[in-house]
Amino acid sequence: MGKRLIMLVFLFGWLQGWTQSPTPGQKNDKKILIRYGTAHVGNGEVIQNAYLAYQGDEVTLLADGNKVRINVLEYDSIIDIEGKHIYPGFILMDSRLGLTEIGAVRATHDFDEVGQFTPMVRALPAFNTESKVVSTVRTNGVLMAQVAPIGGRISGTSACVHFDGWNWKDAEVKDRSGIYLNWPTSYRYQGWWAEPGASKTNKKYDSERRELKRFMDEARAYSEITQQVEVNLRFESMRGLFTGDQALFVRVNWARDILDAIQFFRNSGVERMVVVGGAEAHLVATDLRENNIPVVIDRVHKLPVHTDDPLMQPYQIAGQLIDSGLVVAFSTSGDMEAMISRNLPFQVGTAVHYGMPYEEAIKAMTLNPAILMGIDGEYGTIESGKKATFFISDGDALDIGTNKVVSAVIEGKSIQLWNHQIGLYEKYKDR
Amino acid sequence: MNRITLFLIAALYSMVVHAQETFPVNGVHDERHVVHAFTNAQVFVGNGESMENATVLVQNGRILGISSSDTAPAGSVKHDCTGKTIYPSFIDLSCGIEVKKSEKPKSKKPIKPQTKAGNWNPAIHPETAHRFKEPLKKKAEESWMSSGFGIVNLHERDGIMRGASNVYLLGEPQPNLKLIKSEAADHFSFSKGTSKNDYPSSLIGAIALIRQTFYDAQWYERQGVAKEEKNASLQRLIDRKETTNFFELDNALSYRNVIGIGAEFSMDFIMIGTGMEYKLAEEIPAGSRFVLPMNYPKAYDVTDPYSSRMVSLNEMKHWELAPFNAAILDSFEIGVALSRDTIKSAKEFLMKLQKTVNVGFDHDQTLKALTTTPAIWLGIDSECGSLSAGKLANFFVGNTTFDQPTFKVESHWIRGKEAYKANREFADMIGAYNLVIEKKDFVVQVKTATAKGIKATIETEPKGQKMSVKIGRTNDLLTLNIFSNDSIPELLYQLSGKVSFKEGMWDGRGINGAGDWVDWAAIRDRNTEVTTRQVAEPGAKNIPERTYAYDLAQDSAKQTTTFVITNAVVWTAADTGILERADVYVVDGIIKSIGKDILFPSEVKRINANGRHLTPGLIDEHSHIGIRGGVNEWAQSSSAEVRIADAIDPWNINVYRQLAGGVTTAQLLHGSANPIGGQSAIVKLKWGRGADEMLIKNAPKFIKFALGENVKRSNRRDPGSRFPLTRMGVEQSFLDAFVRAREYDEQRQDKDFRKDLELEALVEILNDERNITCHSYVQSEILMLMNLADSLGFRVNTFTHILEGYKVSDEMLAHGVNASTFSDWWAYKFEVNDAIPYNAALLTKAGVNTGINSDDAEMGRRLNQEAAKAMKYGGLSEEEAIKLVTINPAKMLHLSDSIGSIEVGKSADLVLWSGNPLSVYTHAEKTFINGELFFDHSDLDDQLLQMKNERSRLIKEMIEDKEKNKTKPTMKKEKHMHCDTVLENYWEQ
């Protein structure tokens, strides 16, 4: 009886408050054991009869109940989730969540700063924990994101956040989780988002590349002196790239541009490079693998870039890159990127149907992004000693009909699975 | 009496006529009746006939006669044309000379005040005629004459109703003789050109404007002389009903719009094509007439395998097929004339001309398309277009026939006068010469020799000491300057002389370095080899296969519309729900029976579903794919007159992509930029078929309305001043439109009744003959329109988007309106802040007939996934969810008697899925429309292989292509239109 009661509180605890956005989770000091579920660890492994225990903000146990005997008496509460699935909180890369609220209202945009080289602007202090959009994303299992600026040549510095907290300091997982760079495009679109005109060869490609070269060379030279007399904020924020503390996330799509970017950064002093977008990455997969460059796929649900492409090319690319031995993660950047974030699991589910192994797909939303941001010591998998950030779904989280997140925990705190859309639903369903 | 005498008599007769002129003469009259004889030529007289060794006699600017003998009569000036050709001057119906450059509109106002008594819209000016103020630019005339053209039909290429053209002779200085036919034809297009008026902003708007103007002209005529308004444009259209009309196409697909306008107003248009008409040869009615451009595309620079991906197979195919345009259309009995059009250089034109002949449109057909055909079409064939006695002596002399790469127009004769003469070629000079000056011997080698310059080397004999020489030549006079080979060259000889003995000898006098006069002579060394560039004989090519990206296999097994699908999980989307392991028997595209143990003949083709799932074809109630020339005619608050059906683009790849997502029917809607948009088109996605076949015959009539931020232009940087800018104004826009419509309907019996296409559509709404699909978001505006409709006595058929529908579901149910919504879109603008993904489920549970639509080419590929979201958000059952994209939209479109569910008697629009259709782990295996298999997943590999092979063949050919300055590969990204998509002016795209 006691346990069942706890289960109810655990699942429906969020009913406590009907505010603008859900109240952040309460600190938990109990030893909690969740058992009998199917655990997708995040590193490619699955445990069918899993015992997951956590205390405070840390996972204390993840074990296969068929192999290890667990002393249940050690735990303050035990929750049985037979038939349900446990996943590490999904992590979305290159996101504008919390940096934007309403697409058409410019006042709500905080992601594109003035200037071509603005590595010093950082996303973290602009992240809005009251975002209504964010609360609609975490109810589908997306619990963390890399929020990143866009625009310019070097857009700025991204941050890794989770989706629970009173303010951005609470939400911070890692400030400076990578610098974002837009590689010059050899082909440039005309027109606007809904009505792109013909593309043209970018005649400024070489000059843009030269300008970038100069900036990168100077940033590297600057970084060789630890204590600069005259501080340049731009170059200061680039230091992490040359020490390997931060990865350089390069938004680049055309195969030739990817090759050129690889050549460019090979001797630039940048320790870690990640391709973001990579619409044609499958054509240069060998080069990417040889240079250990991971790919963040910008979104699965999009149209093929060329008329002649296989109809399902955007659905297939994740599987193709995995087959080529690349490390893959996902973003949903593009039109309506913030609100579409909640469909990340289904986009990746589509990629699974088109050839991506299921557990690799989970890994691409959990461990892989954690590695790219250098937070895999504490995040990205459900493992003893790591942060307790996971969710429980009634069924397969990657399919629309079965993704029912009944419980979600961020750093040990059980979060309210409520959002203002559910509020409106509740309000009007009985009108 | 021999033939020549006969001709002479005829000529004398005409001479008398010619002797009269209106101009006073200063001095002694100078009438010259001397006959010019062009002897020994190969003469192409026209009508496919040619005469060898013939003589053309010319007198007083006209052909006196052509005789088959090579003798010229006494007293004639003889022009020896041995080995040469004589052609009638080419006629350009759509000449690129003097094309008015379209200036970008500077200031924009919804409606500009009219400054002249013409049409309200400045793009409509049929009353303008080509103004002949001064001779055309001399250089352009020479260029045109050097490419064979002697007659051009000029109009001002600006606007939609462009006015009349005049026919001019090139190279004729006397204006009164230059103009040979004034107002020969009237010209039309879909492009508004320099008009500063916002309307029309789209192709559909341009079409509506043309139709309305013709209706206005009918009204204007009915009023007789007592009319209040005087309108020069309309008057002109009345006066010019019987003339020849040319219609310039913006896109080959627009031919059907021109034919439609022609049928509606009993007019016949000659179309000025785009070069891609071959793609439509099967569907263009035989007997149509086209002026075809010859600016065939250059090969793409495909040296880089990655960049070459920017060029689509269809663009490559166009490069290959464009030169065959005339030949292909001709084989379908479509009338063809050719035009130099905008090709700048004569040399390039001649190259394209040879290409045309080379690919199967033979020499005589090509000649006809440049001479007799255009002459007949312009009504000047009694004077031009062929060579026979009495006709104008407009012809050119060529060195050979024009299908030869070495072809050159040597001289062009207009009204019997030499209007153009090619620069003399000095090619005969090429060779070695032994030069002697002051008893010193030199060897001169002439390497190249043209009018532009002569290149030669010189060295002493026998020592071989090199010097340099500059040779200049005018007619047969020469100058030679010989310099030393020092670092600062010293002038050694300055010589003048003449060429004689048929290029065999040069001689003359000159000054040596010391300033003394010396004699010199050079004699040709005939033993030295003369090398000339050999041009390869072009081999005639067969017409290549007209295959394109993702062509469907044409085998008859796939096209059979009688078959049975066995062993399927059948989602009927009807009361019968989901049937496990059932068969569906289709006869002639109609569902005949459904069930577990149904009977069908044993010989019927069977498709074993093996337990896979079968659903009705999905229906996208709100789509903008496959529309060309803009989805929004936004310039006025009501554009009820425009029709999306005019702008179907069956070639858009998204049609096929959506078939691959199981969509079989879509309503193509006007955008949402104005309160009253345009008339919808309901299509079946019959990939590979024409626009007319895609449109559902006798489909219920629909029109797009819109509310909210798009209509208010809230999210545009500059909202401008077009009414309305608030939701208050939106209400009044509708009220005003319907009040006007009602008044209009009552005027029908009046004598002065003017048919108004906009109000016609609105009257149809009032009379329940046209249904409204209204773009809407917030509850206030939804209630407003329903209230307004109730008060005016009509019903809103569908609210589309309707993201706050859940707030007013009871009111919607009471009004009887359908809801077509997004599954989970929100947060993209302020008015969707209360949009919730539970909307579809809440509306469904309230009893409102609800569907899920895409409004997006990408989402339209996976409507099944979108429907599944209504299970996740709001808990609909699988049966309810599939109905959101099948029977429910069918009901909204009033098509549920034939599509939307798997029921006996309905069309076999079916999708066989690899698994549960509501899962992300599923794809469409086969998509049938009316029983025809339009998408088969198992074909994809073959299609891709075929495309790959075709691409690599074409890439190889392009790399081997010799033409210079190849086109850089750029990608024409396909248009991806939503209802927000507003083009300022689609022609600027």
Structure confidence by residue, pLDDT tens digits, A87-133: 999 999 999 999 999 999 999 999 999 999 999 999 999 999 999 99
CB B879 within 8 A of CB B933: no
Residues 467-506 of B with CB under 8 A from A: none
B940 neighbourhood in chain A, CB within 8 Å: 310-311
Q: What is the pLDDT of residues B807-825, one digit of tens each?
A: 999 999 999 999 999 999 9
Give the span between the Cα atoms of B850 and B846, in whole angstroms.
Answer: 10
CB atoms under 10 Å from CB of B817, counted, come to 26
Nearest-by-CA chain B residue for A258: B306
Q: How many CB pairs under 8 A join A and B?
A: 169
Class of domain B91-99+120-201+240-421: alpha beta
Nearest-by-CA chain B residue for A311: B657
Nearest-by-CA chain B residue for A256: B306
Give the span between the Cα atoms of B596 and B660, in whole angstroms.
Answer: 28
Long-range CB pairs of A103-110, under 8 A, 24+ apart, other chains included: A103/A336, A103/A338, A103/A339, A103/B827, A103/B828, A103/B829, A104/B709, A104/B714, A104/B715, A104/B828, A104/B829, A104/B830, A105/B829, A105/B830
A353 neighbourhood in chain B, CB within 8 Å: 920-923
Handedness of CA B206, B209, B214, B217 (dihedral sign): negative
CB B520 within 8 A of CB B531: no
Residues 281-340 of B with CB under 8 A from A: 304, 306-307, 309-310, 312-314
Q: Which residue has the tokens 């659905």?
A: A315
B810 neighbourhood in chain A, CB within 8 Å: 431
Give the span between the Cα atoms of B976 and A196, in whole angstroms.
Answer: 7
List of chain B residues with pLDDT < 50: 1-18, 99, 102, 530, 532-537, 973-975, 983-989
Give the span between the Cα atoms of B962 and B950, in whole angstroms.
Answer: 20
The more confident residue out of A359 and B971 is A359
- Take residue B171 and report the two structure tokens written for it: 């190279």
The reported pLDDT for the residue numbered A193 is 36
Backbone angles phi, psi at A246, to 5 degrees: -125, 150
Strand positions, DSSP E, B132-283:
149-154, 161-169, 179-189, 244-248, 269-272
* Predicted TM-score of the model (pTM): 0.91
Are the Cβ atoms of B868 and A303 closer than 8 angstroms? no
Mutation target for A interface from B303, B777, B920, B943: give the one with most A CBs within 10 A: B920
Are the Cβ atoms of B871 and A399 closer than 8 angstroms? no
The reported pLDDT for the residue numbered B115 is 61
Give how far B739 is from chain A: nearest CA, Å: 34
Helix (H) or strand (E) holding B86: strand B85-88
Residue A206 has pLDDT above 90, yes or no: yes
Structural domains in chain A? 2-89+386-429 (2.30.40.10), 90-373 (3.20.20.140)
Burial class from Cβ neighbours inside 10 Å (0-12, 13-18, 19+) for residue A46 reads middle
CB B852 within 8 A of CB B839: no
Are the Cβ atoms of B806 and A428 closer than 8 angstroms? yes
Burial class from Cβ neighbours inside 10 Å (0-12, 13-18, 19+) for residue B31 reads exposed
CB B704 within 8 A of CB B623: no
Q: Which of A194, A199, A429 sits opposite B842 (nearest CB)?
A: A429
* Domain B555-617+900-957 homologous superfamily, CATH: Urease, subunit C, domain 1 (2.30.40.10)
ipTM: 0.95
* Interface check B806 vs A, CB under 8 A: yes
B830 neighbourhood in chain A, CB within 8 Å: 102, 104-105
User: What does pLDDT average to over chain A?
Assistant: 92
* Interface check B709 vs A, CB under 8 A: yes
Q: What is the pLDDT of residues A17-54, one digit of tens each?
A: 455 689 999 988 999 999 999 999 999 999 999 999 99
B549 neighbourhood in chain A, CB within 8 Å: 307-308
Give the span between the Cα atoms of B779 and B809, in whole angstroms.
Answer: 10
- Coil, strand or helix at B170: coil
* Domain B427-525 homologous superfamily, CATH: Quinohemoprotein amine dehydrogenase alpha subunit, domain 2 (2.40.128.120)
Nearest-by-CA chain A residue for B631: A195
Q: Per-domain residue ranges for chain B?
A: 3-19+32-83, 91-99+120-201+240-421, 427-525, 555-617+900-957, 700-898
Give how far A298 is from chain B: nearest CA, Å: 15
Same fold: B91-99+120-201+240-421 with B700-898: yes
Are the Cβ atoms of A195 and B858 closer than 8 angstroms? no
The reported pLDDT for the residue numbered B534 is 45
The reported pLDDT for the residue numbered B424 is 75
Nearest-by-CA chain B residue for A348: B920
Residue A185 has pLDDT above 60, yes or no: yes
B826 neighbourhood in chain A, CB within 8 Å: 339, 421
Are the Cβ atoms of B972 and A198 closer than 8 angstroms? yes
Q: Which of B829, B923, B951 sits opposite A102 (nearest CB)?
A: B829
B989 neighbourhood in chain A, CB within 8 Å: 191, 195, 197-198
Domain B700-898 has CATH 1.10.150.120: no
* The amino acid at B769: E
CATH number of B3-19+32-83: 2.30.40
Are the Cβ atoms of A256 and B654 closer than 8 angstroms? no
Are the Cβ atoms of A199 and B865 closer than 8 angstroms? no
Backbone angles phi, psi at B344, to 5 degrees: -75, -45
- Take residue B515 and report the two structure tokens written for it: 């300033």
B947 neighbourhood in chain A, CB within 8 Å: 308
Nearest to A154 by CA among A38, A235, A255: A235
- Take residue B261 and report the two structure tokens written for it: 């306008």
Question: Taking CA B273 as the corner, what is the angle to CA B269 and CA B279, rounded to the nearest 5 degrees?
Answer: 115
* Interface check B919 vs A, CB under 8 A: yes
Residues 640-659 of B with CB under 8 A from A: 653-654, 656-657
